[in-house]
Amino acid sequence: MKKSEIFLPKVAANPGNLLFRFSLGQALYDEGQTTEAIPHLEKCAASRADWMLPRILLGKAYLQTGQTAEARPVLETALALAIEQNHDDPADELRSILADSF
């Protein structure tokens, strides 16, 4: 069973649960269903200004789907959050993505 199959019914039953929605977006992204992951990641990123992880995945998903203009500000915000929250590994990864992609 795919991980997304675990979270699809959970999100359907409780669409306001952002942790279920993030898990679904992450599972879809990991399974290569990038386009399907984007709306879930967008909703999570919009829900909290300090939530870094959905922004990282959302930025990567935008890049993978050719939405470069949308990706850059999301990735830059994720980098600022990583620095502010002292997450060194994500910050390094984001610096690399930004340097390689723009």
Per-residue confidence (pLDDT) for residue 37, from 0 to 100: 98
Q: Which residues of 19-50 are buried (b: 16+ CB within 10 A; e: fewer)?
A: ebbbbbbbbbbeeeebebbbebbbbbbeeeee
The Cα–Cα gap between 6 and 94 comes to: 29
The Cα–Cα gap between 80 and 64 comes to: 21
Per-residue confidence (pLDDT) for residue 97, from 0 to 100: 97
Smallest CA-to-CA distance from 93 within 57, 41, 44 is with 57
Looking at domain 3-101, its CATH superfamily turns out to be: Tetratricopeptide repeat domain (1.25.40.10)
Computed over every residue of the chain, the mean pLDDT equals 97
pLDDT band at 85 (very low <50, low <70, confident <90, very high): very high
Q: Are 98 and 68 within 8 A, CB to CB?
A: no
Sorted by where each begins, the domain ranges of the chain are 3-101
Q: Are 68 and 62 within 8 A, CB to CB?
A: yes
Q: Kindly report, residue by residue over 25-75, the tens digit of the pLDDT.
A: 999 999 999 999 999 999 999 999 999 999 999 999 999 999 999 999 999
Per-residue confidence (pLDDT) for residue 41, from 0 to 100: 98
